Amino acid sequence: MFNFLTKLTLFFKTPAIIIVAGSGRQSAAEAVFSVLKQHYKIKKLDEFSSPLDLKSVIANEILIIESEVRNLRPFEVLIKKSAMPILVLTHFGEIPVEKDFFAADIEQVKQVAKLAELLPAHGRLILNFDDETVREIKKKSRAHPLTFGFQDGADIRASDCHITKTIEIGTNFKINYQGKIIPIWLNRLFGKAEVYSALAASCAGMAQGLNLVEVSQALKLYQGIQGRMQLIKGVKGSWILDDSESASVFSMTEALEILKTIETEGRKIAVLGDVLGIGKYAIEAHEALGERAGNVCDLLFTVGSRAKFIAQGAKSRGIAESKIFQFDESQSAAKALQNEIKQGDLVLVDGSKEMKMGKIIEEIKDFSK
């Protein structure tokens, strides 16, 4: 990515450049792309992009770059050459389920804070207001700030967020901005992280001159990122809540709450893998997740050595041992699950990326469409 950006600066023709950084950068960049592509010639790059034709890149009006911002040098040149540089900072801290405020570790945001300082006065700085550490970055920049979040005080604020409970399903919420209220619909997408992505895209759209009605219409086409709280069709007439790409204690807790909320004709099945990186409280955290699962699901599949404590927690909530299936790795779990699924079942698949929960999705996903 660094070499490509270095070459790009030699040919840059001053389009708008949108840099998206933070823990939620992948979904946010995709949401921004979904909104703006309806109105502009646009190209999206990420740190793992294969080599691209420079002429095709610079022919666009807007360039979106999703990045961890490990090296400031190429971005400094791009910002100087851009007619409209925009920096979008998503959350860095873990998103809690029941609170609208949180804070990242200061070390996590040091590099992007330096990038914010490089923005000129005519640039735009878009910030997650609910992450208090990210919010403070606006004090370091000359650029015009625009904040988003659930808390009062955010420039673009989400309210009245809820899940529709039938299988024609998704997330509804309202955007509040300067006395205007605009409804937003995210089709088959769930979770606060997806709402944040839509809010970030709304800010980016407004920075490029779109109104919120245009943004709302464009977000209906936003499909999210594979493995991030998507509802997809499964085999045998089932449905899958696919959160297989990654997991934290907070995100898995939220996923279980969403599983509880969605109505279905069949059973609710949770397939939960190890959550890595928790530290010394791993046993207690997995047991607590199991207790939540025990209040939600009819069947429980666990994958990994730590997930055995999820099974233990679920048993304490009254799930019969005959309804719990434990596996050491995802491939064997996938085969057993495929045999167990029935029409109308709703299956949550969640776990840390290292647990390769995506293999389970590949086994039970409906590929007929």
Please report the pLDDT score of residue 46 as a whole number: 76
Sorted by where each starts, the structural domains of the chain and their CATH numbers stand as: 2-219 (3.40.1190.10), 230-364 (3.90.190.20)
> 173: helix, coil or strand?
strand
Tell me the two tokens of residue 333: 């779990």
| pTM (whole model) above 0.75 | yes
Query: Cα–Cα distance between 145 and 231 in angstroms, integer?
Result: 34
Q: pLDDT tens, 95-132? A: 988 888 899 999 999 999 999 999 999 999 999 999 99
Please report, in tens digits, the pLDDT of each residue of the chain (369 residues total). Answer: 556 565 555 455 567 899 999 999 999 999 999 999 999 999 888 765 555 455 555 556 888 999 999 888 888 888 888 889 999 999 998 898 888 889 999 999 999 999 999 999 999 999 999 999 999 999 999 999 999 999 999 999 999 999 876 556 899 999 999 999 999 999 999 999 999 999 999 999 999 999 999 999 999 999 999 999 999 999 999 999 999 998 999 999 999 999 999 989 999 999 999 999 998 999 999 999 999 999 999 999 999 999 999 999 999 999 999 999 999 999 999 999 999 999 999 999 999 999 999 999 999 999 875
Look at residue 129 in the predicted model and tell me its pLDDT.
98
Question: Are the C-beta atoms of 245 and 226 separated by less than 8 Å?
Answer: yes
Predicted pLDDT at 14:
61
Gyration radius (Cα) of the chain, Å:
21
Residue range 56-67, pLDDT digits in tens:
555 568 889 999
* Residue in the structure block whose two tokens are 């530290």: 279
Distance CA 207, CA 205 (A): 5
Q: In the 8-state DSSP scheme, what is residue 317?
A: T
The per-residue pLDDT for 71 is 86
Helix (H) or strand (E) holding 218: helix 212-219
Query: Which backbone phi and psi does 57 adopt, to 5 degrees?
Result: -70, -50
